[in-house]
Each structure stands twice: as C-alpha cells, then as structure tokens.
Amino acid sequence: MAELFTLPVLFGIIYSGIRLATPYLYASIGESFSQASGVLNLGVDGIMLMGAYTGFYVGMTSGSLWLGLLAAAITGLLMGLLMAVISVTLKAEQGISGIGLQLFGLGLSTLLFKLTMGGAISISGFPPVRIPLLGNIPYIGEAFFNHNLLVYFAYLLVPIANFVLNKTTLGLKIRAAGQNPQAADTLGVNITLIRYLTVSMGGLMAGIAGASLSIALINLFQENITSGMGFIAVALVYFGGWKPTGVLLGSLLFSFVNAFQLWIQVKGINIPSDFAVMMPYVLTIFALAFAVKRVSAPAALTKIFERGEN
C-alpha cells in the first residue's frame, strides 16, 4: 500500500482517472442540458451503446475514425430526437420511456453487433497526442498532456457548456424551461423547441460518449460495453447540481476512485476485487445522499408541460 505514495503510481492513477472520466463527461454534460430544460432522459445508456456500436462499425469499415465519430453523433442525435418526440410531444412518463430507450439501445446494438461482426474485434483507436512543451514535463506531462483528442475535447466541453448555459440567452431559455415553463411560455419562449433542442443535443453527446469508449479508450466493441455507465452519467448530473463544473467534479471523483480500485486490483492487494468495483457506486449513493442537499433540482424536471395550465 505504501507504494501508492510514489510519484509513478500517483500520476499513473491520475492519468487513468482523467481518461476514464471522458465518456461520463460527454454523456453527463449532454444530459445536464436536457435536465436543465426539464427532461430526464434515462435512456442515455442505450444511446451510448448505439453510439459505441456505430462509431466502431463505421470506423472499422470505412477506415476513418472521424467518420465513425460522426456516425455515432448522428445515431445519438436521432435517438435523442426519438426521446424528445416521446417525452415532449407525446408527453410520456420520462423515467419509463428512458428505460424503454435503454432496452431498445441494448437490444439493437447487441443484435447489430452479432449480425455484422459476430465477435469482439479490436481496432487502433484515436492515438495519444502529446502537447508540445507541457507534455514533456516529467510525470505531469504524461498524466495530463498525453491523451487522445476525444479526451481533450471532453474537458474543453466543460467551459463551453458552462458559458452556453449561464451566459447566453439560449442558456437562460433552457433554464427557464426547466424552472418555470408556464412563465417562460407567456414570455414567448418556445418550450417545445427548447426541449427538443436540449434532448437531441443530449442524445448527440451520449452517442459521442459511446464512441469515445469504442474508438478512443477501449478500442473494441462488445455486448453491453457500457455496463450501465449511462445510468452513472445521469446520477453525475444530480451529483453536479445541474452545473457543468459540478458534473466535471463528479466525473473526476468517480473516475479517480475507479482508477484507484483498478490499481488495487492490479496490485492484488488483499481486498476482494468485487468490493473494489463496488466502491464508486457506494460512493455515488453517499454523495447523492449527503453532498447534493443544498442544490435543488430544476423545478419542472420530469414534469410534462401543458400550455395554458396554471
């Protein structure tokens, strides 16, 4: 255990923590937009699975990872649009329709995987890009500045999302749609349009999150490759108090604990690996129970908007 406090190990854990946070960042930031506007999309995991599959398959067959990424984004966008139709226009119960979307994505990605690929194949994904100068700093360079492009983009997304949500008119409209849609509606905000926009964009980001797994981090596709990561991403939005910076904090915390437990497993330290794997989930429950008390959810979250009510 004392070995933990050596530089190579500590920075190794930081390196994998930063990497592991990538899919959560994409998915949770997308989801925080949709939740900020009042729609809980619980189907993120299903969208991620479809994104991971299409990203991998298109990337593999076309030979272009970028084309794969684009395919994943479009798939995610379409599934987000489907969720928007169901939850906004058809006014369906959001928790349940999310479960439906998750089952659909799990089933379809597995079906397509078995029919088109048969078994798990690996490809060489996005290569690491060392940032000049910074990347040469001992330890720090390796841990922070030697990742692939999708990892960097994920972190760039945080300030962008923060700016859009808090400093633009669009962001104001999104938050108004989530806090008080009736009032926003009377002021001329098109609630339906806003929610379609956020849920579709959330889907797009979930698609990219899936692709980040299959063509940038793990570099293969297998049945249920996310194993529930999409649900964690939804939890991280609550954890982060519906703020991109909070989501960043949550994703990092979750991923560092995960990187730490992976290290424990590799080292064969005398904790059963199952308890190590359990740690991040237990931590998330505790965090949801005790840390998120002060922030309140968007008032209209999961509530169906009916024009002219109240």
Partner 1 sequence: MQEKHNAKELLNKTFDALLPLLAVPLALIIGALLLLIFKVNPLTAYWSLLQGAFGSVSGLTQTIVKATPLLLVGLGVCIAFRGGIINIGGEGQLIVGALAATAIAVGFPNLPRMIILPLTFLGAILAGGVWGGIPGILKSRLGVNEILSTVMMNAIALQLSNYLLRGPLIDPAEIERGTQIAQSALLPKAVWLTKLVPQTLLHSGAIIALVMAVLVYIFLWRTSIGYRIRAVGLNPDAAKYAGIPVQFYQALSLMLGGAFAGLAGAVEVTGVSHRMLEGLSAGYGFSGIVAALFGKLHPLGSIPASILFGGFLVGGRSMQRAVQVPSALIDTILGLTVLFVVSADIWSSYRARRRLSNG
Interface contacts to partner 1, rule CB under 8 A: 40, 42, 46, 82, 86, 90-93, 95-97, 99-108, 110-111, 114-115, 223, 228, 231-232, 234-235, 238, 272, 274-275, 277-278, 281-282, 284-285, 288-290, 293
Q: Which is nearer to partner 1, 105 or 210 (CB)?
A: 105
Q: Which is nearer to partner 1, 3 or 93 (CB)?
A: 93
Q: Which is nearer to partner 1, 110 or 146 (CB)?
A: 110
Kindly tell me the burial class for residue 203, based on how many C-beta atoms sit within 10 Å of its own C-beta (0-12, 13-18, 19 or more). Answer: buried
Q: Of 249, 306, 307, 308, give the one whose Cα is nearest residue 283.
A: 249
Nearest approach, Cβ of 177 to partner 1 (angstroms)? 20
Nearest approach, Cβ of 205 to partner 1 (angstroms)? 19
Nearest approach, Cβ of 242 to partner 1 (angstroms)? 12
- Cβ contact 204:77 at 8 Å: yes
Beta strands in the chain (DSSP E): 128-130, 146-148
CA atoms of 232 and 230, how far apart (whole Å): 5
Cα-based angle 139, 141, 145 (whole degrees, multiple of 5): 140
Backbone torsions φ then ψ of 41, nearest 5 degrees: -100, 100
Measured in Å, how far apart are the chain's first and last C-alpha atoms? 60
- Report residue 182 CA to chain centroid gap: 30
Q: Which is nearer to partner 1, 152 or 223 (CB)?
A: 223
Nearest approach, Cβ of 168 to partner 1 (angstroms)? 28
Q: Which is nearer to partner 1, 109 or 214 (CB)?
A: 109
Nearest approach, Cβ of 266 to partner 1 (angstroms)? 17
- Cβ contact 241:175 at 8 Å: no
Q: Which is nearer to partner 1, 112 or 218 (CB)?
A: 112
Nearest approach, Cβ of 248 to partner 1 (angstroms)? 19
